[in-house]
Amino acid sequence: MLVTVDSNGRAIKVQGDPSQPVTQGFLCGKVAKYLDRVYAPDRILYPLQRKPGVAKGPLVRGREHEAFERVSWDEALDAIAARLKQTAERYGPESILPYSYAGTMGVLGYGSMDRRFFHRLGGSQLDRTICSEAGGLAWNLVYGKKLGTPTEDFALAKLIVAWGANIHGNNVHLWPMVEQARRNGARLIVIDPYRTRTAALADWHIAIRPGTDAALALGIMHVILREGLEDRAYVAENTHGIERLAERVGAYTPERVAAWTGMTASEVEQLAREYATTRPAALRMNYGVQRSENGGTAARAIAMLPALTGAWKHRGGGGQLSTSGAFQWNKRALERPDLAAVSPLGRLARIVNMSTLGQALEKQGTGNREQGTENQTAHPDSGPDVHALFVYNSNPGAVAPNHNAVRRGLERTDLFTVVHELFFTDTTDYADYVLPATTFLEHTDIQGAYGHYFVQLSSQAIEPPGEAQPNVWLFSQLAQRMGFTEECFRDTPEQMIEQALAVGPDGHSTNAGMEHIALDDLKQQGHIPLSFHRDPEDHPFQPYTAGPFSTPSGKIEFYSETLAAQGLDPLPAFVAPTESRWSEGAKRFPLEFLARKNDNYMNSTFANLDGHRKMEARTSQKLELHPLDAESRGIADGDAVRVWNDRGELRLTALVNGSVPAGVVAARLDWAKLHPEGANVNALTSERLTDLGAGATFYSVLVEVAKDSSQSSP
Ligand SMILES: Nc1nc2c(c(=O)[nH]1)N[C@H]1C(S)=C(S)[C@@H](COP(=O)(O)OP(=O)(O)OC[C@H]3O[C@@H](n4cnc5c(=O)[nH]c(N)nc54)[C@H](O)[C@@H]3O)O[C@H]1N2
Ligand SMILES: Nc1nc2c(c(=O)[nH]1)N[C@H]1C(S)=C(S)[C@@H](COP(=O)(O)OP(=O)(O)OC[C@H]3O[C@@H](n4cnc5c(=O)[nH]c(N)nc54)[C@H](O)[C@@H]3O)O[C@H]1N2
Ligand SMILES: [Mo]
């Protein structure tokens, strides 16, 4: 992204960098309006302390500052350090819980000085499972590493399958490649229960029932193997466990799969044939598939498809879940887990799962993952209750599942909460201290990616407003106040960028794939491709064309000894989610609910800006439902409705359209405080975890809906 700054140091324009081969000079709709966010009149500019006697809980929008008083950074840092010390002494340092996710995805801002700080302190470690853990683990079980078809090469495909992937809405920079491929005759198939922008533009939209993807993937494999459409040579050479997989898929006849997925048997066959016989065939699986209780297994089964057909062999074929495995940052240097040895614990702290924050705060245990983990270090399911919560890069008051449980936890008067933020969010309403954070225009960072293969430098463009400070600065300062004397707490961002790159004596990175990259070159060029992607025309990168693979068997794994050793099913199977139309709970709550993202927000980011809200007006605070489900409940388009289950309730306006199949309803993630009753879709979602990776299950939720007779239609 290029930022134009005027002579007064004010950013006046943002635009895509035309020299970036993936983003090609355009920005998505929400980031094109990024300056509205940077210069928003309600940015938090100064450190704030909750006024004595003001209860924690939703504050009136636009008047949040009245609950706080301005303090200096010195006062705030001293007071926070004193409280953290006291908490650590009284309850043990593990009673302090950091909570962060993807507010910034810069390598430094996402996880560096903060990790050092909490390792040295002995604070609980956070298992960052809320987004992609189930799918990432699934992909790694099959291939060993998260690589994929280069984004640019999707333009060469003759078939693109978007599976649980809202390309046009969430990943718009892939869309031009899709369009180019289609100009050359490619077809686009979208597998998504919801009619997204992507689905509406597809050649074939398969409105699969939520949580039934494993059945479909196994059904496709059934047809492929029955009809001999697999790539036998590729499978023999590169994969492990085909015989046992073949045995397993025997039961997944098109007829049975049709009954689960809501497709017809002949559609299952058609999809399998088209996928297996079109070359190149590119699979864009995204994380939508795995926000479901059986989502890890579903993602794993889907990931096997290009291995069965040998699609990786054809340039423009194969698939992509994420390209993040290609970025081998020197994380040990950035995060310094070795500092845990000098913490009061003398070891790595227990791990708390971020997807069960409600439970962690309600003192019902910490929701640690028990299975399928790749980084199981040390996490006893015990340990002290959480007494201090340090939130940055995240808005758990809006994005965490089971909102009402989270809210009860945040309301605890004995919980000390610090929030580092840009705006008064659903989370700052519960903070004891609110600290002002910078936007990415106001600090320097280095970036990897999960949708391309370029290392990028994002240089500071403007001065921060007020007293806003970046994450690195905050945790460096706080470390000084805690009396942490290690040199690494005084590192500058530039030094840390060099550490991330593991810069060698000649000034170049020593990270695998980055050996040609020097910081000075990044400063000049902004973005530099990873080594294997430097000459895409003559030496195109095609992952997984040949082994050895970084799995235990050295092969692509259809059958997983790793899972077998954990007592889990080594082969994929379809298991209906606990909350689905087949479950006992469906008697009381018969509708499957999709707690969806917005095309013009970034999770909960941007939802507070009027311009962005306008772009979302069509679906904002609406419940989308099928005409049959509306009719049987006496609901008409535009009626006020009540949506509820045992966890919570939400009042929305009915939008009866063709966007969801019968039995499925959908609404959008929003700030809870922008709804009249102070709740959002996560009031309905649960803390139940995915089968692999212990991730959140935003898309396995049952609800009931009724006309809201307490209100007349707006
Ligand atoms: N505009 C915009 N862009 C974003 C984001 C945003 O909030 N807004 N968020 C960013 C983030 S954090 C992420 S992780 C990525 C995620 O990008 P995606 O993975 O594309 O994210 P989702 O919208 O969660 O899921 C994609 C689709 O999966 C569908 N889906 C739900 N349940 C099922 C199911 O059981 N089976 C199948 N086949 N599909 C299902 C949903 O209806 C949805 O349309 O996007 C990023 N980009
Ligand atoms: N119902 C439902 N819930 C969901 C999802 C869904 O699809 N449906 N999606 C899930 C997914 S995929 C994800 S990834 C999570 C995302 O969860 P979060 O990462 O919490 O996402 P955001 O809502 O973007 O909130 C990030 C916050 O960080 C702040 N921030 C931005 N930059 C900085 C910075 O440099 N420093 C600090 N200190 N703060 C900063 C922003 O102002 C913003 O309030 O949400 C999950 N929750
Ligand atoms: Mo995400």
Q: Residue 242 maps to which CATH number?
A: 3.40.228.10
On whether residue 629 sits in a domain, the answer given is yes
Q: How many CA atoms lie within 13 A of 590 on its CB side?
A: 10
Residues 309 and 288 in one domain: yes
Residues 126 and 247 in one domain: no
Instruction: Give the N- to C-terminal CA distance of the chain in Å, as an integer.
Output: 41
pLDDT of residue 362: 86
pLDDT of residue 708: 95
On whether residue 631 sits in a domain, the answer given is yes
CB of 298 closer than 8 Å to CB of 141: no
Average pLDDT for consecutive 10-residue bins of the chain (714 residues)?
Answer: 98 97 96 98 98 96 96 98 98 98 98 98 98 98 98 98 98 98 98 98 98 98 98 98 98 98 98 98 98 98 98 98 98 98 97 97 56 36 89 98 97 97 98 98 98 98 98 98 98 98 98 98 97 97 97 98 98 98 97 98 98 97 98 98 98 96 98 94 98 98 95 52
Q: Is the CB of 290 under 6 A from ligand 2?
A: no
Atom of ligand 1 nearest to the CA of 169: 1
Atom of ligand 2 nearest to the CA of 597: 7
Residues 414 and 474 in one domain: yes
Residues 27 and 49 in one domain: no
Q: Is the CB of 450 under 6 A from ligand 2?
A: no
Sheet strands (E) in 151-237: 159-163, 187-191, 204-206
Where in the sequence is the domain holding 126, given as residue range(s)?
A: 42-130+337-372+386-483
Q: Domain end: 483, 504, 521, which one?
A: 483
Residues 182 and 313 in one domain: yes
Tell me which residue has its CA closest to atom 18 in ligand 2.
394
Residues 309 and 184 in one domain: yes
For a pocket test of ligand 1, which of 28, 197, 597, 682 has the largest count of ligand atoms closer than 8 A to its C-beta?
597
DSSP for 2-56 reads EEEE-TTS-EEEEE--TT-TTTTT---HHHHTHHHHHT-TT---S-EEEPTTPPS
- Say how far residue 211 (Cα) sits from the centre of its chain: 18
CA-nearest of 78, 4, 84 to 47 is 78
Atom of ligand 1 nearest to the CA of 699: 32
On whether residue 157 sits in a domain, the answer given is yes
- The helix/strand/coil state of 373 is coil
* CA pair distance 51, 64, nearest whole angstrom: 11
Residues 297 and 159 in one domain: yes
DSSP for 134-164 reads HHHHHHHHHHSS-----GGGGGG-SEEEEES
CB of 326 closer than 8 Å to CB of 161: no
Residues 200 and 311 in one domain: yes
Looking at the structure of the chain, the number of domains it has is: 4
- How close is the Cα of 319 to the center of ligand 3, in Å? 19
Residues 93 and 181 in one domain: no
Helical axes 213-226 vs 265-277, angle rounded to 10°: 70
pLDDT of residue 713: 47
| Both tokens assigned to 504 | 């060698």
On whether residue 378 sits in a domain, the answer given is no
On whether residue 490 sits in a domain, the answer given is no
Residues 112 and 48 in one domain: yes
- SS3 readout for 633-655: CCCCCCCEEEEECCCCEEEEEEE
On whether residue 140 sits in a domain, the answer given is no
Ion ligand 3 neighbours, Cβ < 5 Å:
131
Sheet strands (E) in 579-659: 591-596, 622-625, 640-644, 649-656
Atom of ligand 2 nearest to the CA of 595: 1
CA-nearest of 678, 691, 632, 622 to 653 is 622
Q: Is omega for the bond preceding 41 within 30 degrees of 0, making it cis?
A: no
For a pocket test of ligand 2, which of 440, 605, 645, 675 has the largest count of ligand atoms closer than 8 A to its C-beta?
605
Residues 1 and 59 in one domain: no
- The helix/strand/coil state of 115 is helix
Contacting residues for 5 by C-beta, under 8 A, at least 6 apart: 11, 12, 461, 462
Atom of ligand 1 nearest to the CA of 29: 1
* CA pair distance 284, 41, nearest whole angstrom: 39
- DSSP for residue 400: S
Q: What is the CATH number of the domain that holds 600?
A: 2.40.40.20
Beta strands 159-163 and 445-447 are unpaired
Helix (H) and strand (E) counts in the chain: 25, 26
CA-nearest of 246, 293, 213, 340 to 577 is 293
Q: Is the CB of 609 under 6 A from ligand 2?
A: no
pTM score: 0.97
Is residue 55 packed enough to be buried (19+ CB in 10 Å), middle (13-18) or exposed (0-12)?
A: exposed
Tell me which residue has its CA closest to atom 13 in ligand 2.
131
Residues 185 and 291 in one domain: yes
pLDDT of residue 560: 98
